[in-house]
Structure 1
Amino acid sequence: MKLHLHKSDQQYQINGVDSQAITINHQPYAQPLIISDDALSTDWFSGDWESLGAQALEAILAFKPEVVLLGTGDKQRFVHPKHLQSFLNAHIGVECMTTAAACRTFNILTAEGRKVVAALLLEKHLMTA
């Protein structure tokens, strides 16, 4: 059986995550961010969970996702459905999960060639904002 090295076109990969930082391409980021396989935005959101509304979420649409993974910190939280209307109108799925789960899922889906975008929040920002 022949084995071939598969080189991915994926520019960004998540290497690790904890409540303080998300490590992308071996560089830690200590702020909320949006990541796709070929783009990274580190100036996405600041505020507590209750202030995460439609305007902040609509910034994700610029990445043209098929699926959005919303990492909600160390515990799973859910966005009010009224804030997701623009995603529903565009037939874009949004999944809310812990940030660690969103990071793992992001790596799996991008490796499969899916157009996934992860919007990732860190617990330290949600608690202190």
Structure 2
Amino acid sequence: MEKQPLSKFDRYIKNSVKESVLEDYKNNSVIRGLIQLVPYGALVDNMITISYNNILIDRSKIFYSELNSGSIILTPEVIESEDFLHAYFSTYKAALYTRQRNKIRFFARLLRSGLIEQSIVNINEYEDYLKILDELSY
């Protein structure tokens, strides 16, 4: 998987605009519609949305790359387990909403080790580890 660098505009957005503002903007159709009424507003709307999506894609690539670096065996029973699905989606969401690339890798390692060591069987303990990791800074 070839990693493409973020564009200059994407890097500017990533480094200067709070991600919560970008997410709120992306999910607010009224504001987006009003901005599109302004001259060149549609262009600005498109650039902001694309930049935000590129940031999430970049983080996803880091997460899945790290997750794939170990030996995980996903059986149909594991994939269909509610505890596994909860752990997976909670971990993935936490990874997407952190800026620190090394922390994203730690989230992937937590999920991978949970699968290898069968600690996802105790989902409450896994959630505790996830919350601790989420609160730590790199």
TM-score range, shorter chain: under 0.3
Q: TM-score, normalised by structure 1?
A: 0.25
Q: TM-score, normalised by structure 2?
A: 0.24
Which structure has the highest helix share of the two?
2
